[in-house]
Structure 1
Amino acid sequence: MNWIVLIIGGLFETGFAISLGKAQQTSGREMWLWLFAFIVCVSISMYLLFKAMGGEKAIPVGTAYAVWGAIGAIGTVIAGIIFFKEPVTFWRMFFLSTLVISVIGLQTVSNHG
């Protein structure tokens, strides 16, 4: 269950990064709405990270933070491509793939350690 909580927290991390990007592209009331979305997403994301590191099947702090950050980074790169028209290059996708492999590896060794 803690892994599911951590994954959802990572998705909210993507949400807060997207909110900041959208806030930079807007002004006035719309900017403030995006900043409010940022505050909500960062609060939920941090709380879910906190919850994933506690309880009966706690995820170790280093692993939880690395996986949470990677999920946010992966989601933000994908969202940047979709919403901000960021470039899709071989090297961006190559290194994104290595990040995905690393997250899977961390999850695998954390379950056995």
Structure 2
Amino acid sequence: MSWVYLFVAGLLEVGWVVGMKYSEGFTRPVISLATGLAMFFSFYLLSAAMKNLPMGTAYAVWTGIGAVGAVVLGILLFGEAMTAARLLCVALIVSGILGLKLVTNS
């Protein structure tokens, strides 16, 4: 169950990163509230996952999911550059996440 918590925590991290962009500096109340809730639950689920997963693994996977999601949604939603170099870097992050999952015994 810890890996499920961690995965959802990572998705929520992507949500709050995108929410920060849409909140326009936290000037849009509803989006700002949703962003804050996503932050809270992302941290909560990360801490729940860390009960059974190594801290370094959990944090690296959480930030990796957030980084990959932020890059992909930046490309899709905000027209950010989609270069071969950026996609290669995203692939390397995904490789690292999968590698940590494979070598962690929890």
Name the structure 2 match of 1:47: 44
Per-residue CA distance 1:6-61 (angstroms, 9 max, x = gap) = 0000000000000001112895xxx122211110100010000011011xxx0101
Note if 1:35 corresponds to 2:29.
Answer: no
TM-score by length of 2: 0.93
Per-residue CA distance 1:58-102 (angstroms, 9 max, x = gap) = 010110000001001111111111111111100000000000001
Alignment match of 2:61 (pick from 57, 67, 90): 67
Alignment match of 1:103 (pick from 73, 97, 101): 97
Name the structure 1 match of 2:24: 24
Match of 1:77, SS state, is: helix
Q: How many residues matched?
A: 106
Check the 8 A contact 2:26/2:32 in 1, yes or no: no
Unpaired runs of 5+ residues, structure 2, are: none
Unpaired runs of 5+ residues, structure 1, are: none
Alignment match of 1:91 (pick from 85, 102, 106): 85
Identity of aligned residues (%): 36
TM-score by length of 1: 0.88
Cα pair distance change 1:51/1:18, threshold 3 Å:
same
Q: Which amino acid aligns with 2:17?
A: A
Moved over 4 A (4+): none
